[in-house]
Structure 1
């Protein structure tokens, strides 16, 4: 019997099917369902229960339209979406380091139930692994205007959900063998930027010691920008852009309205920055829940207390092109329009072209856009954190693989199955290029060891970066990867060309 006592009641888990020495406790509510009278509000405590609660299956996912391979989908009426999952090799009192994972998905899709986020392998390394669901899309990141005399609905409700989960972990994780004072929060893509936001938020201070950021995304809105998105979504939903009007639209209606807004941007080349990759939601730098965008906050020293491990892939944006979520830029005229829309200098684009003399216009665009959204932004977070006196370790993922007539690049998301040790999952084979070879397993062991070592005592196994020296650990398997590891670094060009902060 695997029964654990939490502040809300007792829960029963099961042995992981992958490793019977690890217990999986799935779908534990960490907060009340954020609907009905609690819709658009801060998360409230979960209602206690009396009997032992069977926690052997993932909880419902947040409202979204995505259908991901091997993952559950959202069904209208599913409301108990604020749940977390624990994989533990220990028992109460063991004091094991805790790793908390925040999934990505452009703030509109994804869940903790994705097979590549199964925590069994990392738990087998001696960690207590926690994954969680949080509000997405408008429910989690839409700006809700307050009328005269109305209590305002907070921005960044998805981030507040994450904080509520961390508070639950602080109060309850010891029962599962974890150390509440030794928590590392990790995430990838929008999950990484969520983590970066948490490092700057007063309400999250003291809830974790370290943070792992893989491919943080350059996306943080002002209140005015978020309000403009609200107006667009409300119009698409056919409701007034007021709290009352937005509450009258069902979660399903707001998901559909957001998809309509995205589709309009995608179809309109003249619509500016959002045409190229139309993500419309993200954190809001409202000055209350979130004091500033993560890069500004890091430069101001607001994140200095938290040790960082920062990684990005060497060919980030090729994945977005492969799955069809990016605009197709194939002509010099389109490339020039892209640079103009983002305010990029001709010197930057021309400099990248000189370093990629055989690249097509498409590949040049993907390289620059990948830096703009992920690679250079992640690197600047690391730089700013180090410059402000914080501890930071940097790495780059460069592993490539040929096969099935197409080379799988070191692209966005490909690093995460390696870090979790879930290479055998069929659902990740599109990302990794098929079943793993021995070199892949060896790389995975090294990446898992780095995460485990960092979460345990703050040292992933290579020197920390500082203001004068920025050592980078390169992750790759063999000779084919060496070109990706050595090339594709345009940091000096970005330093002299300026770097725009983007709003979703």
Structure 2
């Protein structure tokens, strides 16, 4: 029988790929030379009795389920200043779904699992900028992305609920990969997790989550934020969020609130974080209330402690940051070029390492004006030094880490953002015209952008396959890192002045100041 001998609907079914998963059979579609599956459930919807619970195994289905469109976004803030585009209108509460791009379901390729960022309070695997077919194609990998709970649903401290529900969703998705990815042409023994911003912070946290052990073998952490909360601090924040709507931070009280209405309480507390500075310390100066919690049960210790003690010894890492990380946030807040000496001094006192960080920065950077000092200390506290210390912790624990710094200056936003936070995401995904792409790369990116983006994807793919990205491992003596720019030199760590300022600092979960 040929394709011309069957009815159109039957022909469609024969031409579109069908895969059997542990939940049932799914039908995808052909795009860009790949088989693509979208919206596959990996856990039950966390609503009703499952609200604020750990993810529960998916309920199976009969017949063939179409996997042609992304699942709905998880409840989250919709007014964040850095968001571009709009979320689709939720059509169901089946939030915990994943997506797969594969060239050949009969092959055995390395697997790259993408974890989106968004300050732990927003994000959606179906966002226009998160089409990952170019990574699958150029990296020669099977690519998986998924939704996980964010904000109050995923990370708020709620009495009667497990901590780090967003991380537990990630673990459940990785367990699905272990059990199902071979049917899609992926190698379950060669899984690399890759994430940017809060996605990278999640990966670092997963290294300190015992249940995640063995679920991935390599990891790529792009611009990992160094914010993790102590259990006491998370509880205080949870009480403030629930109090905003006159409730207690308990499952009994909060489970009656519409999941899409609850983020507004978090937004209200976020807008007045500085009022809590006496109790929340440096966190009160940051942009989000939410982060993984070192609760002693799900996440047993900080990432730096976990790696120092050998938790990542069998996981090969790429860890990196952008040179001008916080300039994006400074620009979005309208502060770029407006910082006076008083604001710079207060910011230095809030973030610089003890005992006298303000004077240490002024001495180390004698030519820096208030704007530069304001940016430098935030770059170092939030992104650059946490990443450097994580690489050093990995080496101290007997593991391997390759480190990079992205210095490519984005032409977007009138060319003032430099190598800012978030620019690596559109570069890796090749989505220059969607979501953050136009703002960060400009409406007409130069021709060199495509070349740089392709090289990043092929490098990440090579690392996923071999563990070797093409530059030396990091060690505390030579401190060699890969510079990612139009050229790719390997140099000693470029931020040596800041490294020295922070070399005695110990990164850990942020405490509650009582």
User: After TM superposition, is the score higher than 0.5?
Assistant: yes
Q: Could you tell me which residue of structure 2 aligns to residue 101 of structure 1?
A: 114
Q: Could you tell me which residue of structure 1 aligns to residue 405 of structure 2?
A: 396
Q: Within 5 Å, which residues of 2 pair with 1:424-435?
A: 424-425=433-434, 427-435=436-444
Q: Could you tell me which residue of structure 2 aligns to residue 150 of structure 1?
A: none
Runs of 5+ unmatched residues, structure 1? 147-152
Q: Could you tell me which residue of structure 2 aligns to residue 301 of structure 1?
A: 310
1:81-111 alpha-carbon deviations (Å, 9 max, x no partner):
101111111123x111000011111110011
From 20, 23, 31, the equivalent of 1:5 is: 20
Q: Could you tell me which residue of structure 2 aligns to residue 23 of structure 1?
A: 35
1:325-360 alpha-carbon deviations (Å, 9 max, x no partner):
989972222222223334634864445445655543
Change over 3 Å in CA distance of 1:405–1:217 after alignment to 2 = closer
- Cα RMSD of the aligned pairs, angstroms, is 2.7
Alignment check: 8 A CA contact 1:449 1:460 kept: no
Equivalents in 1 of 2:272, 2:155: separation in Å?
Answer: 20
Alignment check: 8 A CA contact 2:229 2:293 kept: yes
> How high is the TM-score relative to the length of structure 1?
0.90
Equivalents in 2 of 1:406, 1:215: separation in Å?
Answer: 20
1:299-320 alpha-carbon deviations (Å, 9 max, x no partner):
2222222111011000000011
Alignment check: 8 A CA contact 1:276 1:326 kept: no
Alignment check: 8 A CA contact 1:347 1:497 kept: no
Q: Could you tell me which residue of structure 2 aligns to residue 122 of structure 1?
A: 135
Q: Within 5 Å, which residues of 2 pair with 1:194-343?
A: 194-265=202-273, 272-324=281-333, 330-342=339-351
Alignment check: 8 A CA contact 1:349 1:368 kept: no
1:202-240 alpha-carbon deviations (Å, 9 max, x no partner):
111111100110111111111111110111011002112
Alignment check: 8 A CA contact 1:66 1:110 kept: no
SS of alignment partner, residue 418 of structure 2: coil
Q: Could you tell me which residue of structure 2 aligns to residue 344 of structure 1?
A: 353
SS of alignment partner, residue 262 of structure 2: helix
> How high is the TM-score relative to the length of structure 2?
0.89
SS of alignment partner, residue 306 of structure 2: helix
Change over 3 Å in CA distance of 1:389–1:490 after alignment to 2 = same
Q: Could you tell me which residue of structure 2 aligns to residue 81 of structure 1?
A: 95
Q: How far 1:70 sits from its partner (Å)? A: 3.9
SS of alignment partner, residue 454 of structure 1: helix
Runs of 5+ unmatched residues, structure 2? 1-15
Q: Could you tell me which residue of structure 1 aligns to residue 7 of structure 2?
A: none
SS of alignment partner, residue 293 of structure 2: coil
For these two proteins, the number of residue pairs brought into alignment is 491
Alignment check: 8 A CA contact 2:229 2:509 kept: no
SS of alignment partner, residue 386 of structure 1: helix
Q: Could you tell me which residue of structure 2 aligns to residue 440 of structure 1?
A: 449
Q: Could you tell me which residue of structure 1 aligns to residue 3 of structure 2?
A: none
From 55, 58, 73, the equivalent of 1:61 is: 73
Equivalents in 1 of 2:386, 2:334: separation in Å?
Answer: 20
